[in-house]
Structure 1
Amino acid sequence: MVLGKIVGAYGVQGWVRVHPFADDPLAWGKLPTWRLGQEDAPPEGWREVEVLRSRVHLGALVAQLADVADRDAAEALKGLLVGVPREALPPAGENEYYWDDLVGLEVVNVRGERLGEVASLLETGANDVLCVRADDGKELLLPFVGAVVLDVDLAQKRIRVEWEADW
């Protein structure tokens, strides 16, 4: 499961700066290992690295990884995604979801009209946004807030929303 992206080096001793895709980067920053890879890499293309230390700094997670000795080595990791095995994460709380669980779910409105499928999510600062790919190829952007998202049913692989098909 992808949790963030390395966006650069931090300091001169090989620490990396990670943009987190999750609300609580310290929770996964404490995991003993991460997997690093390119977005389109197959699972075997990701490599495991040991996390020596981590902390939050100015809204980003900074971490010292094993075998990353200096700034140049840290810069070489820029752009790689940070992932962990799903089983390493705690279960999501009530009415909380991992983004990975939402991608691929069907989105229907209260009238039962299919709006499309969740292709991805965006973090805007105010709230998360569902990027829904409609059957005609268009993209719908739906705020992930209680007034719009009425129900998420992971078992049925469906999200019910208060949203008209022609909006």
Structure 2
Amino acid sequence: MQLVVARIGRAHGIKGEVTVEVRTDEPELRLGPGAVLATEPASTGPLTVESGRVQSGRLVLRFEGVRDRTAAEALRNTLLIAEVDPDERPDDPEEFYDHQLADLDVVTRDGREIGRIAEVAHLPGQDVLIVRRPDGGEVLVPFVEEIVPEIDLAAQRAVVDPPPGLIEEVDEADETEEADEDGTA
């Protein structure tokens, strides 16, 4: 199983270092010296981490064979991908890998079916579950404990407690579209 662990940002300095946007809760494990990472696009890699450090709150990495700013800048926006055993679980029981969440059924606390998790979007502010509805539409559900209080991997479901308007707004929009198609509104 592959896991996106970072995205390469700007070149840093003139000696081939790059800043990275970390997308893992385990950067010391996934992005440490010696880590070999696949890339997207694949033609850019694989890349081996030579060294890393934190500067002004950002992780700065140097990869083997990347020695100047031009080579570093050519890596910009490349995704770094780690190979993960599909049975591996994060140390914290409240954390999940994206592949564990994909295809989970999403239901409300009272058992109403919302849809299935299509993917997890890692936005700057927070992670968002992209839930595919049975009718083909999508709902974006902020992946925070207040809204997604339960993930049950054994039962293959995520329980949500959406605030007013998060799900209903989509339901109402669907009803309005159906009414417009029928010529009634």
Counterpart residue identity of residue 147, structure 2: V
The question of whether the paired residues in 2 share the 8 Å contact of 1:6 and 1:19 is answered with yes
1:58 maps to which residue?
Answer: 56
1:16 maps to which residue?
Answer: 18
Q: Which is higher, the Rg of structure 1 or of structure 2? A: 2
Counterpart residue identity of residue 104, structure 2: L
TM-score by length of 2: 0.74
TM-score by length of 1: 0.81
The question of whether the paired residues in 1 share the 8 Å contact of 2:107 and 2:159 is answered with yes
1:124–1:69 distance in 2 versus 1, CA, 3 Å: closer
Alignment of 1:20-39 (within 5 A): 20-30=22-32, 32-38=34-40
Distance 1:154 1:84 in 2: 22
Where does the alignment leave 5 or more consecutive residues of structure 2 unmatched? Answer: 170-185
Where does the alignment leave 5 or more consecutive residues of structure 1 unmatched? Answer: none
Counterpart residue identity of residue 36, structure 1: A
2:98 maps to which residue?
Answer: 99
Alignment of 1:65-144 (within 5 A): 65-87=63-85, 91-92=89-90, 93-118=92-117, 119-125=119-125, 127-144=126-143
Higher relative contact order (CA 8 A, sep 6+): 1
Distance 1:27 1:35 in 2: 12
1:166 maps to which residue?
Answer: 168
1:152 maps to which residue?
Answer: 151
Percent of aligned pairs with the same amino acid: 32
Shift, 1:6, TM fit: 0.9
> How many residues get paired?
161
- Flag the structure with higher strand content: 1
- Flag the structure with higher helix content: 2
